[in-house]
Amino acid sequence: MDLSTHKVSIIVSQGSLEGIYPALIMANGARAEGMEANLFFTFFGLDAVHRQRHEHIKMSTVGNPGLHMATWAGGLPGVSSVMTHYMERKMEALDIPSIPEFIEMISDTGAGLYACQATVDLFGLTKDDLIEQVEGIITVGDFYEMAVDGHIIYT
């Protein structure tokens, strides 16, 4: 099936490892199928394209029942870092790229990366705080115009 006339717009609203990866995989996979794909980073999802933070994305260990560990244990100092490190090792073994590398690759596939204007204002950021692959800081209206006639995925 020719998917090259299809388009997907993916909203990344979470700043955790498990919140960001699915969106990146969906965007990369869409481009691999020849679809147009755009990523819109909003709220804590903006950390994925934040120059200082995108190398330090952590897995959420509090309030994450999927980890099957006691909630109190997830909150202990260092647990999030240890679990993140463990997950990163497993991903590396499967040749899944790190978040910075993955985002650079997705940009190279021709997908568009955009930051949310409201979030940039809220957090007091400028374009200089974001990685160079971010094509622009756009409003929700710009996003809908870009997304028109395609699918929208919210993560």
Nearer to another protein, 19 or 74 (CB): 19
CB of 111 to another protein, least distance (A): 10
d(CA 132, CA 51): 9
Query: Are 53 and 47 a contacting pair, CB within 8 Å?
Result: yes
Nearer to another protein, 33 or 55 (CB): 33
34-68 as b/e: b if 16+ CB within 10 A: ebbbbbbbbbbbbbbbbeeebeebbbbbeebeebe
CB atoms within 10 A of CB 142: 15
Nearer to another protein, 68 or 89 (CB): 89
CB of 2 to another protein, least distance (A): 7
Nearer to another protein, 33 or 132 (CB): 33
Q: Which helix (H) or strand (E) holds 8?
A: strand 7-12
Q: Tell me, rounded to whole angstroms, the distance of Cα 90 from its chain centroid.
A: 19
CB of 31 to another protein, least distance (A): 7
CB of 24 to another protein, least distance (A): 9
CB of 92 to another protein, least distance (A): 12
Nearer to another protein, 34 or 75 (CB): 34
For another protein, the binding residues (CB under 8 A) are 1-4, 25, 28-29, 31-34, 95-97, 105, 108-110
